[in-house]
Structure formats: structure tokens, C-alpha cells
Amino acid sequence: MDRREGDGGRGDQVTRIGMIWGGIGGVIGFIVSLFGSFAGIVAAIFVGLSCGRRAGAAGEPNSGAMSGLKSGALAAPLFAMGAAAGAVVAAQQIGSSEIAATLSEVLNVEVSNDEAWNLYLIGTAVAAVIQVSLLIGVSAAAAAWVARKRPSS
């Protein structure tokens, strides 16, 4: 017995799109986050837009936002892992002593290397939450937009 729900494989296609854009987004997130977490946040918007547009075109005519939500939810964790890895690699290249010196200078408070590293990791985790939220939201919105523009049959 076929396990599909009579959607002609469109659900599988939306899943495949989410997995593909998750892989692409992970690589993009890693490379872009070498420049900083804000660059990763901007990249999450573009990856979510691309993922949602493809999912909206592949999904059922009346389920644009759900198609984008599903594909975005599949792509977001992979993107966030790649972006976080890129940010950590960048921080290791800078060094915790340099991060601590910069924080001490900016905040006018003595910050140890361990405290600076902990603050950097907390900032990376917050950026990852923002990236995931934006990627999923933009993906759902883009899929709904594409499904709305597509002529219904």
C-alpha cells in the first residue's frame, strides 16, 4: 500500500527541497558567518526566500504557507549548525584574548578570556535562534506568495 496521501508525491518533493536547501544553506551559513553573525542572519533571509519559493511551487495549490513552513523547518537546523560552526571558527582565529581585550575596552570592565569566550558563545546561540526564526518565517511567507501568484487548476 502506498503511504502517500494522494498528493502525487508533492509532500516528498517539499521534503526534498527542504533537505537540499538545508545542505546548501549550511555551506552558505558557514562561509558567510566567517564574517560575523549578522552576515549569517542576512544569509538566513536569502536562503529562506529561495527555499520557500521552490517549496511553494512544488506544493499543493492551496498549501503554500504549509509547504514553506515544512521545507523551512527542515532547512533551518542545518543552516544554523553551519552558521554557528563558521562563527566559532572565526572566533578561534581571532582568539579569546583579543575578544577579551576588545570587550574590556568597550565595556570599560575587566573581562577574562573565559568570560569573553562564554559571552561569544551565548551571542552565537542567540544569533542561531534568530537565524532559524527568520529562515522558517521567510520560507513560509515566500511559499505563500508563490502559491498565491500561481494560477489554481
pLDDT score of 149 more than 80: no
Please indicate whether residue 14 or residue 42 has the higher confidence score (pLDDT).
Answer: 42
Query: Alpha-carbon distance 135 to 143, whole Å?
Result: 12
Nearest CA-CA partner of 41 in 124, 122, 111, 130: 130
For the entire predicted model, the pTM comes to: 0.84
Whether 1 shows a pLDDT value over 70: the answer reads no
Task: Check pLDDT > 60 for residue 133.
Answer: yes
> Cα(18)–Cα(106) distance, rounded to whole angstroms?
41
Least confident of 14-18, 33-37, 57-61: 57-61
**CA–CA separation, 42 vs 33, rounded Å?**
10
Q: Which residue has the higher pLDDT, 2 or 45?
A: 45
Q: How confident is the model at residue 83 (pLDDT cuts 50, 70, 90)?
A: very high
